[in-house]
Amino acid sequence: MPDSDLISLGGDLEPSTIVNAYRRGVFPMETASLPGVIGWWSPDPRGVVPLDGLRITKSMRRSARRYEIRVDTCFERVVRACADPSREDGWITEPFITAYAKLHELGWAHSVEVFDRDGQLAGGLYGVRVGGFFAGESMFHARRDASKVALMALVDLMQKTGMLLLDVQWCTDHLASLGAVTIPRQEYFARLDVALAFRKAGVQ
């Protein structure tokens, strides 16, 4: 995470603060050099997954047939799995878990959950939706391809509801292998404005 992507320090994690930040293309994350301090980030370039560009392999399709997809049935379990302290570069602390749980209760944050045939949580992802925009925060897997299947399901849901922009913040090698690309910050802001204008009955 380049220091140039960090635009501000401090503030709070109240729901209105976080949602207003996403509307401006900014998101919160602790800084490695200042544990406990909230950093506000706006990467340049920005990682996004084009909804028509997700790379779905035969292996992923086979895996998808082995799993059941659910939405918003165990949000906090997904977040805590993503926050596993044994994961490399873990950043999801208890204050963030509490903050995003509040966002979920208010209808802003959502999880896509992948269950195996034994009814066990095998993987998932969570993020924040505002209008036609979804900010993917983190994902995890406990079974093969489960996080990829969650991403497949998210993209499918977004396409079916006419959503426009899937933000993944930074484009890692793993995300790039799935079709994520980078775009300049100003182009991201332009796409975000269009996605935020998305209005449909019952959609925030």
pLDDT tens figures, 166-194: 999 999 999 999 999 999 999 999 999 99
pTM listed for this prediction: 0.93
pLDDT tens-place string over residues 113-161:
999 999 999 999 999 999 999 999 999 999 999 999 999 999 999 999 9
Helix (H) or strand (E) holding 185: helix 185-196
Q: Which residues pair with 29 in a beta bridge?
A: 39
Say what percent of the chain tops pLDDT 90: 86
Question: Confidence class of residue 203 from pLDDT cuts 50, 70 and 90?
Answer: very low
Confidence of residue 89 (pLDDT cuts 50, 70, 90): low
CA 194 from centroid of its chain's CA atoms: 19
Full set of structural domains in the chain with CATH? 44-196 (3.40.630.70)
Cβ 197 vs Cβ 33: under 8 Å: no
Distance of alpha carbon 147 from alpha carbon 123, whole angstroms: 5
Query: What does the pLDDT read at residue 201?
Result: 36
